[in-house]
Amino acid sequence: MRLPRRALPPPRPHPPLLHLLVLLSFAVPETAAAPPRTSSIVGMAWPTKCTWLPLPTSGMSHSYTLFSKYHKIWKETKEAVSANDVSRQETISGVIALKGSMKYFDADFFNDSKLREMEDGAIEFNVPAFRDNRKLVALENGGLHNPSALVFKSSWNGESKISKRKSLDYPITSSVHRPSKDEDIAFMSIMELGELIRTKQVTSRELTDVFLRRLKRYSPVIKSVITVTDDLAYKQAKEADDLLEQGKYLGLLHGIPYGLKDIIAVPEYKTTWGSKTFENQVLDIEAYVYKRLKSTGAVLVAKLVTGSLAYDDIWFGGRTRNPWNIEEFSTGSSAGPAASTSAGMVPFAIGSETAGSITYPAARCGVTALRPTFGTVARTGVMSISESLDKLGPFCRSAIDCAVVLDEIRGKDAGDPSSREVDIEDPFHVDITQLTVGYLDSAEMEVVNVLSAKGVKLVPFKLNYTVESVQSILNITMDVDMLAHFDNWQREGLDNVYEAQDQWPVELRRARLIPAVEYLQAQRARGKLIREVKESFTVDAFIGNATDWELVCLGNLVGMPVAVVPTGFKSIEDPPKSGTRRRTTITTGIYAPPDHDHIALALAMAYQSVTDHHKQRPPIDDLGSDNDV
């Protein structure tokens, strides 16, 4: 219902007020320039040109009430401009307008420089995305089409239960012998270590010693470890050894050491989220994934680096390095799980991905990893960026190990309403000769050729979708969800001490300017994207670049699984004259439809059964004399 307009003539705006109105209609400050972004997780250049928006014609017909409202804001905030902030007349006016409006967002706490940055970000990123999404899904009234991708479930039956499902049918590993060197033990697979434990060639205590030594030896250089959990590790190792003495063997993870990304809570130890602000935080919570691993007899040896608040590879203690080339960084945000697994500091680790945080560091550090179907592993006790995007997944030495770990950690929990019992079939029972697998232009042809030789039908492939702003849907979803979880952190100004000022702080301030309705239009656009991807997913799986940003955003918005598989090495750029063993790793992603993780894993296993890129050891002792590491 609309109230009848009052017949009062609007007051004549005096010049500054007119100017203000123009700015309120999204005029862009002339010199708006954005700083370059250096984040390697995003890896996208800051667009060099600013998007200029035409003035909406309706801007000239503001009602009297609007006029008086803006006039009031103007009066109230005119004095608020600090004296040293007079460099750009137009920007200051815009900042005044924004400052005035922020009280309607109940977020009246940003200073002028932050408001200016928010204004630039809103114009450059938010507004074009709003328009794209509206054009795509919201031109029609009535909500008959394009339902949101977010679904409300009224069921109260969310109790945790570890269902009595059949476990996977692992291949038998036999005739494994204990190597004499610790280093050779450190690079064995879970399958091999499990066999050493089961046949009592090694105790869990001995394995724990090997990995604790390596964690302590390499963490000062690689910076991939936040807390070594010695006491807990020795306690859990003793329990594993005692059980085995009593003739009780819990399965392949019995007695096997591992690490957790430090966004996963374990009681009595710090859970720092990689952030200065939370450096001393101890959460009395047993994360679901930790509970599961504990019940399999696995031994927690370390809380591993997460980039600060699960973004990139910078954390309160420094920046995590890539074991394959110590001069390089690991990318993130599962920096610790990737780098530590790569360096033989743990046999496997659990990391997480919202957008690229498993795929990027796994690719950079040359380890095999799985980003499972969304909802497969309950996230109870894990710091949350976005309820509809975050996933937990394993970093391992092989796809077989990823299957083993996934089998033990998957499941639904009451603490995570999005989790479910995903009905994954047994990857060890997939007949790959019955599969048709697509390959994108970006696929590594070696994988295509190897799988083809193994009898898989390979066809050129392309995903077909009309949604243009896949990356901005990801941004809107992730940033608003994150801000909801770190609202108070921002209000208290703690973002001022965040480790990488050009990352979360900027994105989360910009997220303040995303209206709820535009967030929901983004979820409707996401729903359309999901339907289109489903429609065009005409193959059983496809092979493509694991770190292509568009594909990373798409895969996460859809919730599809991807196996990240090392597929080779190339020389580093600018190698030292004295020679080097450092390498750049090459990786491929094997993507499957949601709930078909077993297909991606089966293909990765088939590839790894006849290649050995995944078994190569990084030159972590090649620190180089000419580098200041």
Ligand X SMILES: *[C@@H]1O[C@H](CO)[C@@H](O)[C@H](O)[C@H]1NC(C)=O
584 scored as a contact of ligand X (CB under 6 A): no
Q: Which residues contact 101 (CB under 8 A, 6 or more apart)?
A: 73
Footprint (CB under 6 A) of ligand X, residues 417-446: 442
Least spacing, CB of residue 441 vs ligand X, in Å: 7
* 481 binding ligand X? (CB under 6 A): no
551 with 589: CB under 8 angstroms? yes
Span of 160-168, 463-471, 513-521, 555-563 interacting with ligand X by CB under 6 A? 463-471
Q: Which is nearer to ligand X, 306 or 567 (CB)?
A: 567
Binding to ligand X by residue 85, rule CB under 6 A? yes
Nearer to ligand X, 227 or 611 (CB): 611
Structure tokens at 179: 């190597």
Minimum CB distance to ligand X, residue 383 (Å): 19
Phi, psi for residue 393 in degrees, rounded to 5:
-160, 160
For position 111 contacting ligand X by CB under 6 A, the verdict is: yes
Among 51, 68, 89, 113, binds ligand X (CB under 6 A): 113
- Residue ranges in 138-229 assigned as alpha helix (H): 182-186, 190-198, 204-222
Instruction: Between 268 and 550, name the residue whose CB sits nearer to ligand X.
Output: 550
Crossing angle, helix 89-101 and helix 64-77, to 10 degrees?
A: 110
Nearer to ligand X, 127 or 250 (CB): 127
Q: Return the residues of window 534-563 that contact ligand X according to CB under 6 A.
A: 545, 547-549
Write the CB contacts of 119 (distance below 8 Å, at least 6 apart in sequence).
29, 32, 91, 94, 95, 98
Q: Is the peptide bond before 333 cis (omega within 30 degrees of 0)?
A: yes
CB 370 within 8 A of CB 565: no
CA pair distance 236, 301, nearest whole angstrom? 9
Q: Give the separation between CA 624 and CA 619, rounded to whole angstroms.
A: 10
Which of 357, 386, 469, 472 is labelled catalytic? 357
Q: Is 269 in the site for ligand X (CB under 6 A)?
A: no
Q: Does 464 bind ligand X (CB under 6 A)?
A: yes
Closest CA to 224 of 309, 119, 315, 91: 315
By CB under 6 A, residue 475 contacts ligand X: yes
The residue within the footprint of ligand X, chosen from 23, 41, 42, 191 (CB under 6 A), is: 42
Q: Does 354 bind ligand X (CB under 6 A)?
A: no
- Asked whether position 38 contacts ligand X by CB under 6 A, the answer is no
> Is 608 a residue that touches ligand X (CB under 6 A)?
no
Q: Which element (helix H / strand E) includes 167? A: none
Contact call for residues 250 and 296 (beta carbons, < 8 A) = yes
User: Which of 325-333, 404-412, 468-476, 589-597 is the region at the interface with ligand X (rule: CB under 6 A)?
Assistant: 468-476
CB-wise, 407 or 495, nearer to ligand X?
495
Output the smallest distance, CB 232 to ligand X, in A.
37
Among 413, 507, 518, 597, which residue sits at the site for ligand X (rule: CB under 6 A)? 507
- Is 261 catalytic? The answer is yes
Closest distance of CB 114 from ligand X, Å: 6
- Closest separation between CB of residue 390 and ligand X, Å? 17
Only one residue has tokens 């708006």, namely 32
The active-site residue out of 101, 204, 275, 333 is 333
Closest CA to 44 of 535, 465, 429, 550: 550
Measure the CA–CA gap between 623 and 582, rounded to whole angstroms: 9
- When the beta carbons of 348 and 537 are compared against ligand X, the nearer one is 537
DSSP state of 416: B
Residue 125 engages ligand X in binding (rule: CB under 6 A) = yes
- In order of 68, 116, 161, 619, the CA distances from 482 in angstroms are 35, 22, 28, 37
Distance from C-alpha of 590 to C-alpha of 442, rounded to nearest angstrom: 12
Which residue's CB is nearer to ligand X, number 93 or number 471?
471
One-character DSSP codes across 316-383: TTEEPEETTEEEEE--SSSHHHHHHHHTTSSS-EEEEESSSTTHHHHHHHT-EEEEPPTTSB--TTB-
User: Which CB, 320 or 471, lies closer to ligand X?
Assistant: 471
Q: Is 501 in the site for ligand X (CB under 6 A)?
A: no
What distance in Å separates the CA atoms of residue 239 and residue 254, rounded to the nearest whole number?
Answer: 10
Q: Do 560 and 363 form a contact (C-beta atoms < 8 A)?
A: no
Provide the minimum distance between the beta carbon of 435 and ligand X in the complex, in angstroms, as a whole number: 21
Piece in contact with ligand X (CB under 6 A), picked from 38-46, 273-281, 378-386, 575-583: 38-46
CB of 469 to ligand X, least distance (A): 6
Q: Which is nearer to ligand X, 60 or 497 (CB)?
A: 497
Among residues 91 and 471, whose Cβ is nearest to ligand X? 471
Give yes or no: 333 in active site.
Answer: yes
For residue 61, the minimal CB distance to ligand X (Å) is 31
Cα dihedral across residues 160, 161, 166, 169: positive or negative? positive
How many residues belong to the chain?
629
Among 26, 37, 69, 452, binds ligand X (CB under 6 A): 37
Choose one: 111-119, 190-198, 511-519, 562-570; the region binding ligand X (CB under 6 A).
111-119
Edge-to-edge strand list for the sheet holding 436-439:
225-228, 299-304, 257-261, 349-353, 391-396, 368-371, 562-571, 583-591, 541-544, 436-439, 457-460
Q: Contact positions toward ligand X, by CB under 6 A?
A: 37, 42-44, 82, 85, 111-114, 125, 129, 442, 464, 466, 471-472, 475, 496, 507, 545, 547-549
Active site residues: 261, 333, 357
